[in-house]
Amino acid sequence: MAEGAVIENLSTRKLLYILLLLALAQIAFFAIGALVAPVPSSSMEFEMVKCSDKTRGTAGHWFHVRPPKCDVIEDLSTYQPSSFDLREIVFIAQMPHARGGLQLEYSPWFQFLLGLMHVEVGYSDNFKYVPGSKLMLEVRMGVRTHASAPDAWEEYVDSNVTRTLDCTIDDSKRSEGNTYQCETLDLFELGSNNYPFYLLNVRIPIDREGCMRDPIGTPNCQIGMVKELHVVAIHQNGGFTLVWLWLKTLLCPVVVAALYWFHRRLSSLPRQRLLLEKAILALGAALVVLDAPLEWLSLFARLPCLLLLSDLRQGLFYLVLFSFWLIFAGEHLIDDPHLNDLTAYRKNLALVGVASLSLLVYDMAERGTQLADPFCSIWSTERGTTLAYVTIYVALACTLAYFAFLFYKIMVVWNTIRRKRAAHIYRTSENRRLKVEGVIYRFKFLMLFTLVCSALTIAAYFMRQFGEASLHGESTDESILTHSTSAFFTGTFGMWNIYVLLLIAMYAPSHKQYQGAQGLIDENEDLMDGERTESNPLTTFLKPATD
Q: What is the pLDDT of residues 323-341, one digit of tens each?
A: 888 888 777 665 555 667 7
Strand pairing category for 133-144 and 89-95: unpaired
Round to whole Å and give the CA distance between 347 and 329: 15
Enclosing H/E stretch for 116: strand 113-122
Q: Which CATH class is domain 6-40+239-542?
A: mainly alpha
Given this model, what pLDDT does residue 83 score? 79
Reduced to 3 states, what is the DSSP secondary structure of residue 83?
Answer: coil
Given this model, what pLDDT does residue 498 score? 92
Given this model, what pLDDT does residue 436 score? 60
Maximum alpha-carbon separation in the chain: 101
Q: Using CA atoms of 121, 127, 131, 136 in order, give the dihedral in degrees to the nearest 10.
A: -70
Q: What is the pLDDT of residues 116-158, one digit of tens each?
A: 999 999 988 888 899 889 999 999 999 999 999 999 999 999 9
Q: What is the pLDDT of residues 50-96, one digit of tens each?
A: 999 988 888 889 999 999 999 999 888 888 888 788 889 999 999 99
Q: Decide which of 104 and 460 is more confident.
A: 104
Using the predicted structure, report yes or no on whether residue 170 has a pLDDT greater than 60.
yes
**Predicted TM-score of the model (pTM):** 0.81
Structural domain boundaries in the chain? 6-40+239-542, 42-236
Quick one: three-class SS letters along 251-284? HHHHHHHHHHHHHHHHHCCCCCCCHHHHHHHHHH
Instruction: Of 359, 46, 369, 370, give the one whose Cα is nearest residue 190.
Output: 370
How many Cβ atoms from other residues are within 10 Å of residue 268's Cβ? Answer: 10
91 contact partners, CB below 8 Å, separation of at least 6? 48, 49, 50, 51, 200, 201, 202, 203, 204, 229
Round to whole Å and give the CA distance between 156 and 142: 5
Enclosing H/E stretch for 226: strand 225-236
Mean pLDDT, all residues of the chain: 80
Confidence band for 532, pLDDT divided at 50, 70 and 90: very low
Q: What is the pLDDT of residues 257-277, one digit of tens each?
A: 999 999 998 888 888 888 888
Round to whole Å and give the CA distance between 486 and 469: 19
Using the predicted structure, report yes or no on whether residue 513 has a pLDDT greater than 50.
no
Q: Report, as an integer, the average pLDDT of 506-523.
A: 51
Using the predicted structure, report yes or no on whether residue 525 has a pLDDT greater than 60.
no
Reduced to 3 states, what is the DSSP secondary structure of residue 107?
Answer: coil
Q: Report, as an integer, the average pLDDT of 365-386.
A: 78
